[in-house]
Amino acid sequence: MAFIVRQSGRLVGTFNNYLQPAHIGKRCISTSKKNDETAVVTEKIPSHKATQNSHDVNSTAAATAAKKKWMSYGFHPTDQYEDVASAHVFSFLGVTLCMVLGSLVYYYGPDRTLKDWAQREAYLLVREREANGLPLLDPNYVEESKIVLPSEEELGDFEIII
């Protein structure tokens, strides 16, 4: 383990100059006038008047909540609490039930293509044919009497490539 750590340190050291950006070593000093500084205002703005119950925290919180604009999620047209709660519930159900439980059903559900069944059936058939001393695949899989071939006259000049 120590060998790997030492070798990785050497590898990083050789490429260290290539990995660091070139602007890190440069120091730029601005000598121009500071036009973009932020001014701090310590006076009270006359347009912002304090409310009568400024010492009451609940009334100020209610006043700010009343001023806050609310856009409905579409679950309830007038009640903000019901609308937000319904949006959260439907989001939770949509993500959890549909995505998580849906993927679990998809992956752990039954084999709809019957691939596993076909493999088990083939294994049983191979084991049965080996136990009886038969070849795995019979050369006469379909009886020759059941096969209907065209006659030479029907084929005519048709070329048959085998």
Q: Each residue of 148-161: pLDDT tens digit?
A: 988 888 888 888 88
Mean pLDDT of the chain: 78
End-to-end Cα distance, the chain: 63
Q: Each residue of 69-103: pLDDT tens digit?
A: 888 889 988 889 999 999 999 999 988 888 988 99
The SS3 of residue 132 is: coil
* Torsion of the alpha carbons at 138, 139, 142 and 143, rounded to the nearest 10: -110
**Eight-state DSSP code of residue 112:** T
**Eight-state DSSP code of residue 29:** -
Judge contact between 61 and 51, C-beta under 8 A.
no
Q: What is the rounded CA–CA span in Å between residue 51 and residue 102? A: 53
Average pLDDT over residues 37-55: 61
Annotated domain spans of the chain: 70-108
Tokens 């709660």, residue located: 85
Percent with pLDDT over 90 in the chain: 27
Who contacts 86 (Cβ-Cβ below 8 Å, separation ≥6)? Answer: 73, 75, 76
Q: Report the candidate in 69, 64, 42 with the shortest Cα–Cα distance to residue 53.
A: 64
Indicate the length of the chain as a whole number: 162
Q: Which of the two residues, 77 and 33, has the higher pLDDT score?
A: 77
